[in-house]
Structure 1
Amino acid sequence: MDDFLKYFENKDFVQWVLNPNAELDTYWQNYIKDSPQEEEQIKKSRLIILALKSKKTLRSNNQLDAVYSNILREIKSQKKTKPVRKLFFTVLKYASVFLLFISISVSYYYYQKANELNKIANQLIEGVDQNNSQLILANGNKVLISEKESEIEYGNNGEIVINKNDTLNYKKEANTTKQQYNQLIVPFGKKSSITLSDGTIVHINAGSRLIYPATFMGSKREVFLYGEGFFEVSHNKKKPFIVKTNNQSIEVLGTKFNVSAYPSDKIVETVLAEGSVKLKPNEFSFFQDDYILKPNQKANYNIGSKEVSVSQVNASKYVSWYLGYLNFETSELKQLVKRVERYYNIKIDIQNKNDDAISKTITGKLLLKDNVETVLKVLATATGMELIKINEITYVLK
């Protein structure tokens, strides 16, 4: 431990690891050449410092101060008056490094685990059809669905029924114990609903992607979501249902909730309609809490700051999209415009960006089953703005 501290406390060494230059490179290469017995320790120290740079698990000095205060109280309780200061800083030094070592180890474990679970979700999909929804089976077969609104249902016998009409006979790979995943990709301008093999119903909004197993194996039911989905989870106390996103996981037994986790958004939004859910960050941290939501609560996870805020809401306002309308209350224009753009796969340019109109709040209802121009005219009237049609997919509000 003292060997590591020797390098950790050396500013030139830390600078060489994190921000190297020719002079430092020459110095440390010569140092290693002259002191070959130190080479292994230097390599280990470099790895630890680089890991600390990439994974900041201790968020603030206040959190470390709290740990240090506990150490100080323990020392004082032993009533060792003379060597207390020296002992304190020695223990402080070891305790801080111990915490860092543990943080790195546990973070690495969580990273490996999450990497395994999200491997298929992080794969890029080639040739994504922007005009049709796509059902991609584990064997690589792709099924295009042209309807604006589609419905997919998995049966217990391996059948997949699309729009209550077309039936696929899906057979998983023989003699395999490995979970096999299918994917449903819904482009902007369309939406879909899917009934999973356990009876859970997922309504998938425009511009979203759901990765899920044809049949759930093991002790958990896990799916992966990019974009927005409303989940009606089939109850199974022995097999919790987990929705994973890039930044957090939502764990439930049986409930109804909405998750919005579009890659382009800075906030992951979870709204609970019924039951209860537990929100857990994907990255491990000693000081990050899990959050349990109650009905009509919304949790916003800020991807940048990694902070979570919870507020009381009317959940029906947030889940109405899957029923075919946007029921909004004191919503900002820019947020509504973004939802309408995704639903109809169009571009809406707000030109008077310096005007109060862009940040004003609006209350009302938009029927998404209406054609796009009807919806935009209602939006323009509600905001007192003028609607200009540029072409079939581009509009201006000013």
Structure 2
Amino acid sequence: MDQKDKFELNKRILDSVHRYKHKRRIQKYSVAASLTLLVAIGSSIWFFQNDTINSLPSIRQHATSAKLGTGAESEVKLVLGNDQEVQINSDSAEISYSNTGETVSINNERSLQQSSKKTVEPVYNSIVVPYGKRSKISLSDGSKVWLNSGTKLTYPIAFQNGRREVYLVGEAIFEVSHNEQSPFYVVTEDYHVKVLGTVFNVSSYPDDDYTNTALESGSVEIYFPSNPDLKNGAIRITPGTLATFDKKNNDIKTKEVDVATYMSWKEGVFIFQNDELSSILKKVARHYKVQISIENEHLAKQTFSGTLDISKSLDKIFKIIQETTDFEYNSTDNQIKIYQTD
């Protein structure tokens, strides 16, 4: 394929991206009582009350002290309040809690019982989604969470004292039930997101150099305890904004984006627009539970635009990317090496 053919092919791929996004807008569900967000950042600053910030570390302490395993595990794992571990053999597990949190339904096939006796501290559950798997949870307040590969979420089985808090490592899309009297907080290693009712995707993987949030509608507040310039303060983001927190430089940047690009994985599609190959293959590696290395730095920085249907085999994914990017690869067990063709 010569350069002219590749240019025409890339143009057709970009057109397909726009068509997908247009279809996504048409199919977008009603958000009368909810909004849509991905973890990012916005434009104006305001301040939380001190008791709001001071109460957040409890769930962080529980989540970081619990032995939840890593993305290297083979099955989705649900850890109950008594430390009982439940293995879920499913590529896309679905878990649902009753409004008391005492009954847990798994894939509509079996149910578990646990005590929600009110104590000073809530009863927490955690879910660990390994690489190569995804999951969906319906929390006791009716909020829904879609968890991407390599993600851990810790949450109370029933929210208490007018506070709703969860702790996230990895990436998730939240559809939060609206409740003005009980704000919902997503706590990550780098910042806390406060919402009243919204749908949002938070991306906060430990091996990434950044944490992202993207907002589709409504507004959210994000507090950055590690940034001295925002001490005791928060940032509010506006719809269509992607906020990126640079972990190395402790820097925050925002830009306008099409949020569908950051939400599409829930529907089994990755969308890329001029994304570097290294970034693309990191997401691919998480989904397919493999390790991918790129031998050439110039190749790693080449960009790709298009849509990837991640229900297809890994070989087909590589062939799609190869249509506009010159590289070859070899695979040994779960180790894949990418190298540039001569």
Asked if these proteins are the same fold (TM beyond 0.5), I'd say yes
Whether contact under 8 Å (2:103, 2:113) holds in the other structure is yes
Q: Does structure 1 residue 154 correspond to structure 2 residue 97?
A: yes
Q: TM-score, normalised by structure 1?
A: 0.68
Secondary structure of the residue aligned to 1:382 is coil
1:132–1:187 CA contact under 8 A, matched in 2: yes
Q: 1:110 to 1:219 in 2, by over 3 A?
A: closer
Q: How far apart, CA to CA, are the structure 2 residues paired with 1:176 and 1:238?
A: 21
Residues 228-263 of structure 1 deviation map (CA, whole Å, 9 limit, x = unaligned) = 111111111111100000110000011111111111
Structure 1 residue matching 2:99: 3-state secondary structure: coil
Deviating more after overlay: 118-127 vs 198-207: 118-127
Partner of 1:361: 303
Partner of residue 258, structure 1:
201
Structure 1 counterpart of 2:130: 187
1:330-375 per-position Cα deviation (integer Å, ceiling 9, x unaligned) = 111111010001111101121222x3x3212211011011122211
1:195 to 1:352, Cα distance in 2 relative to 1, 3 A: same
| Greater helix proportion | 1
Tell me how large the CA RMSD over aligned residues is: 2.3
Amino acid at match of 1:346: V
Residue 122 of structure 1: SS of its match in structure 2?
helix
Q: Does 1:348 align with 2:292?
A: yes
Structure 2 counterparts to residues 88-237 of structure 1, below 5 A: 113-125=55-67, 130-157=73-100, 158-172=102-116, 174=117, 176-237=119-180
TM-score (norm 2): 0.79
* 1:395 Cα deviation after fit: 1.8
Is the 1:110–1:283 Cα contact (8 Å) retained in structure 2? no
Mapped partners of 1:113, 1:285: distance in 2 = 20
Structure 2 unpaired stretches of 5+: 1-49
Give 5+ residue unaligned stretches, structure 1.
1-106
- 1:387 maps to what in 2? 329
> Do the aligned residues in 2 keep the contact of 1:257 with 1:274 (CA within 8 Å)?
no
Which whole-Å deviations, capped at 9, do the CAs of 1:296-334 have from their partners, x for residues lacking one?
211111223322111100100011111101011111111
Which structure 1 residue ranges, 4+ long, deviate > 6 Å from structure 2?
109-112
Conservation of the 8 A alpha-carbon contact between 1:110 and 1:284? no
Distance 2:78 2:234 in 1: 33
1:110 to 1:265, Cα distance in 2 relative to 1, 3 A: farther
Q: 1:286 to 1:335 in 2, by over 3 A?
A: closer
1:329 aligns with 2:273: yes
Match of 1:40 in 2: none
Please state how far the C-alpha of 1:195 moved relative to its aligned partner.
0.7
1:186 CA drift (Å): 0.6
> Aligned residue for 2:27?
none
1:239-258 matches, cutoff 5 A: 239-258=182-201
User: Partners in 2 of 1:243 and 1:111 — Cα distance?
Assistant: 12
Q: Residues of 2 paired with 1:155 and 1:324: CA distance?
A: 28
Contact 2:168 2:204 in 1 (8 A): yes
- Aligned partner of 1:54 in structure 2 is none
Contact 2:171 2:201 in 1 (8 A): yes
CA distance in structure 1 between the partners assigned to 2:79 and 2:291 by the alignment: 28
Of all paired residues, the percent bearing the same amino acid is: 31
SS of 1:121's equivalent in the other structure is helix
Return the match for 1:318 from 258, 262, 267: 262
Secondary structure of the residue aligned to 2:272 is: strand
Match of 1:339?
Answer: 283
Counterpart Cα distance in 2 of 1:110 and 1:254:
17
- After superposition, the Cα gap between the structure-2 partners of 1:252 and 1:126, relative to the gap in structure 1 and judged at 3 Å, is closer
2:313 aligned residue? 371
Given candidates 231, 246, 253, the residue that maps to 1:309 is 253
Q: Which whole-Å CA distance do the structure 2 matches of 1:210 and 1:287 have between them?
A: 26
SS of the residue aligned with 1:376?
A: helix
Greater percentage in strand: 2
Q: Work out the CA distance in 1 between the residues paired with 2:280 and 2:129.
A: 20
Task: Between the two structures, name the one with larger relative contact order (CA 8 Å, sep ≥ 6).
Answer: 2
Letter in 1 for 2:253: S
Q: Which residue among 235, 257, 260 is the counterpart of 1:291?
A: 235
Q: In structure 1, the residue corresponding to 2:65 is in which secondary structure?
A: coil
Whole-angstrom CA distance in 1 between matches of 2:120 and 2:193: 25
Change (3 A) 1:192 1:175: closer
Query: What amino acid is aligned across from residue 218 of structure 1 in structure 2?
Result: N
Match of 2:214 in 1: 271
Equivalent pairs counted in the alignment come to: 288
**CA offset digits 1:146-195 (Å, max 9, x no partner):** 211111111225321111211112222x3524211100011111111111
Letter in 2 for 1:132: E
